[in-house]
Amino acid sequence: MKLQDKVAIVTGSGRGLGRSIALLFGKEGANVVLAAHNRDQIEHVAQELKVLRKNAIAVQADVSDETQVNVLIQKTLEAYGTIDILVNNAGFRGPIAPTHKISLTEWEETLRVNLTTAFLCSKAVIPTMIEKKSGKIINIATTLTPRPNMTPYMVSKAGMNSLAKQLSRELKEFNIQVNAIHPGVMDTRMQEDIRKAGAKAIGTDMFDRLKEEGLLHSPDEPAKLVLFLASKTGDGITGEFLSFDDKEVKFLLSQG
């Protein structure tokens, strides 16, 4: 198993990509810590893992709140004694509108939920990882292709790339690898929320067409890329941005 006895925190793991990552990590032997607002959803995922005789705990937390992040870390350490992997996955789409029509409140909320969460969770796990001279942090970003009318979301996700690069340099000497990924366009609640805004607001009917043509992929697929980076196969890769849509990345994953 690729993550035997590793301790992994996955934020936003009640549904969508976070759930897929948590289930895959658990199947690969990790002790998984699930965090999100929605208690029922994370407890359901923890139950799915327990049915498979895998270890998991669900910690209800808003990971944009430093106090709640610290409680999450404390509960992880109480349950499993260490932290090996952090996946900064929690996020939401933010407002869909031209930038000049977005309020400061919407802007700040989007950056807080999509980027400050990763800063807070990374800040909280780094001391443990430095002490053990090992660790993996994976930030879930998005495409590098500009998406008009989604500026706060796209800027926050560019920040996730930059944060990964910054941390990779700072933490290299401690054998901590930090990377960011684009998971591709997945069939999840967030995608549904984006389509609900309407093709006119988004400025493209691409997402409706991808859905109609069955071309949105399951989050189980990019979860394999996160596993690749979190496990030994990803050792030595740091400060990179890997896109699930990249053919070479798909080839790497096909090698097992």
Ligand X SMILES: NC(=O)c1ccc[n+]([C@@H]2O[C@H](COP(=O)([O-])OP(=O)(O)OC[C@H]3O[C@@H](n4cnc5c(N)ncnc54)[C@H](OP(=O)(O)O)[C@@H]3O)[C@@H](O)[C@H]2O)c1
Q: Which of residues 162-181 bind ligand X (CB under 6 A)?
A: none
The only residue of 16, 94, 152, 159 in contact with ligand X, by rule CB under 6 A: 16
CA 224/CA 244 separation, integer angstroms: 9
Find the catalytic residue in 119, 153, 228, 244: 153
For 134-160, what is the HEC assignment? Answer: CEEEEEECCCCCCCCCCHHHHHHHHHH
Nearer Cβ to ligand X (22/126):
22
Task: Give the residue with the Cβ less far from ligand X, 4 or 74.
Answer: 74
Query: Is 161:186 a contact under the CB 8 Å cutoff?
Result: no
Report CA Rg, the chain. 17
Binding-site string for ligand X from residue 119 to residue 148, where x marks contact by CB under 6 A and - marks none = ---------------------x-x------
Q: Which is nearer to ligand X, 64 or 151 (CB)?
A: 64
- Name 157's Cβ contacts closer than 8 Å, sequence gap at least 6: 91, 114, 115, 141, 142
161 contacts ligand X (rule: CB under 6 A): no
Contact flag: residue 191 with ligand X (CB under 6 A): yes
Interface with ligand X, residue 38, by CB under 6 A: yes
* Residue sitting closest to ligand X (CB): 16
In the complex, what is the shortest distance from the CB of residue 66 to ligand X, in angstroms, rounded to a whole number?
A: 12
Position 62 contacts ligand X (CB under 6 A) = yes
CA distances from 58 to 12, 19, 31, 35 (A): 11, 12, 11, 6
Q: Which of the stretches 72-80, 127-135, 186-194, 228-236 binds ligand X when contact is defined by CB under 6 A? A: 186-194
Could you confirm whether 153 is annotated as catalytic? yes
| In the complex, minimum distance from the CB of residue 169 to ligand X, in angstroms, rounded to a whole number | 23
- Cα 53 to Cα 58, 86, 115: the distances in Å are 15, 22, 33
Cα separation, 10 vs 32, in Å, equals 7
Which residues of this protein are in contact with ligand X, per CB under 6 A?
Answer: 11-12, 14-18, 35-38, 41, 61-64, 89-92, 113, 117, 140, 142, 183, 185-186, 188-191, 219
The catalytic residues are 153
